[in-house]
């Protein structure tokens, strides 16, 4: 199996360290040769940075990719935004020699060079392609009796030309990995809809952002699930913190636990909620942890 370098991004170490711990525990249990990509910067954020200055976006992304190239390891991301930014920059620089030449002129000033020798992988795509749900199911020691609302998020599946996925409009590879833990992936309306966080919406149009999150949360709540499972810390923050914000501003009473996939998988491997930092998620309460026991 390909050696990997874990790109943590910004939100995980700063806002959700439990996701970082859960990821490392799962990678170790799966015997995946993965080390942290040291000295990495922000990816940088695709929805905003790229819109204002494409050259700088490409150069910063290329520097991160070059760090992994020096290690001869593919990049493993646990965030849709990081995946979108690094994967698309990697593809553009591989496909467009003039663009690569321009970026390398900037990188040369700091002793870096983009060579186009590695892949950028999202952990869900990576696990689905390299291991598959059946192999993961065989490793599960504590099957989960949970009804789960799977949230793919935007950058994991689009733009499709730069994604190794089964279907853009009705993907199922993430659902299969969730069900490998013993949980049931519950279908719901507008499943592929954006959570409302990305593209600067949460920062610039906060009320509209919460409106989008509220719409999706209302549908998920009606589906009667035990938790939401995502694979992106920004989507995670939107659903986790967003529920508390909506409850304060709109008088709603949402309390749907939100887990990153590695936290769900860690539970199926027998780790406790405390081991996985699940108790640090705003929406997780004693009722949910009792459900796991």
Q: What is the largest CA-CA distance in the chain?
A: 57
DSSP string, 70-133: HHT-EEEES-HHHHHHHHHHHHHHHH-HHHHHHHHHHHGGGT--------EEEHHHHHHHHTHH
pLDDT at 157: 80
Full DSSP string of 136-169: HHHH-SS----EEEE---STTT-SGGG---S-SS
| Mean pLDDT in residue range 200-225 | 89
Average pLDDT, the chain: 93
Q: Which domains does the chain have, with CATH numbers?
A: 4-123 (1.20.1050.140), 142-292 (3.40.50.11810)
Q: What is the pLDDT of residues 39-65, one digit of tens each?
A: 999 999 876 777 678 999 999 999 999
* pLDDT (average), residues 267-285: 94
User: Quick check: helix, strand or coil at residue 35?
Assistant: strand
User: What is the model's pLDDT at position 276?
Assistant: 97
Binned at pLDDT 50, 70 and 90, residue 102 comes out as: very high
Percentage of the chain exceeding pLDDT 90: 81
Give tens-digit pLDDT for 108-144.
999 999 999 999 999 999 999 999 999 999 999 999 9
Q: Which two tokens stand for residue 158?
A: 């689009």
Contact between 278 and 192 under an 8 Å Cβ cutoff? The reply is no
Predicted confidence (pLDDT) at residue 200 exceeds the cutoff of 90: no
| Average pLDDT of span 75-103 | 96
Across the range 68-81, mean pLDDT stands at: 97
The DSSP symbol for 193 reads: S
Neighbour count for residue 148 (Cβ, 10 Å): 23
Model confidence pTM above 0.75: yes
User: Are the beta carbons of 141 and 30 closer than 8 angstroms?
Assistant: no
219-245 pLDDT, tens digit each: 999 999 999 999 999 999 999 999 999
């Amino acid at each position: 199996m390909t050696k990997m370098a874990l790109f943590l991004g910004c939100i995980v170490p700063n806002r959700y360290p439990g996701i970082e711990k859960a990821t490392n525990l799962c990678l170790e249990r799966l015997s995946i040769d993965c080390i942290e990509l040291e000295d990495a910067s922000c990816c940088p954020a695709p929805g905003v940075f790229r819109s204002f200055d494409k050259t700088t976006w490409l150069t910063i992304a290329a520097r991160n990719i070059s760090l992994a190239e020096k290690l001869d390891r593919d990049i493993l991301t646990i965030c849709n935004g990081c995946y979108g930014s690094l994967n698309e920059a990697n593809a553009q620089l591989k496909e467009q020699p003039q663009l690569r030449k321009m970026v390398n002129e900037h990188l040369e000033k700091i002793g870096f060079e983009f060579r186009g020798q590695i892949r950028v992988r999202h952990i869900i795509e990576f696990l689905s392609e390299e291991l598959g749900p059946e192999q993961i199911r065989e490793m599960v020691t504590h099957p989960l009796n949970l009804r789960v609302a799977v949230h793919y998020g935007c950058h994991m599946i689009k733009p499709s030309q730069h994604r190794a996925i089964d279907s853009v409009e009705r993907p199922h590879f993430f659902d299969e990995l969730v069900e490998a833990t013993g949980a049931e992936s519950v279908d719901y309306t507008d499943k592929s809809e954006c959570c409302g966080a990305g593209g600067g919406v949460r920062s610039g149009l906060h009320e509209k952002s919460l409106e989008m999150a509220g719409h999706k949360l209302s549908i998920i709540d009606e589906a009667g699930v035990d938790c939401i499972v995502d694979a992106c810390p920004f989507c995670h923050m939107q659903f986790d913190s967003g529920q508390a914000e909506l409850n304060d501003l709109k008088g709603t009473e949402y309390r749907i636990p939100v887990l990153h996939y590695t936290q769900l998988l860690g539970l199926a491997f027998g780790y406790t909620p405390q081991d996985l930092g699940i108790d640090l998620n705003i929406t997780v309460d004693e009722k949910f942890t009792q459900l796991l026991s």
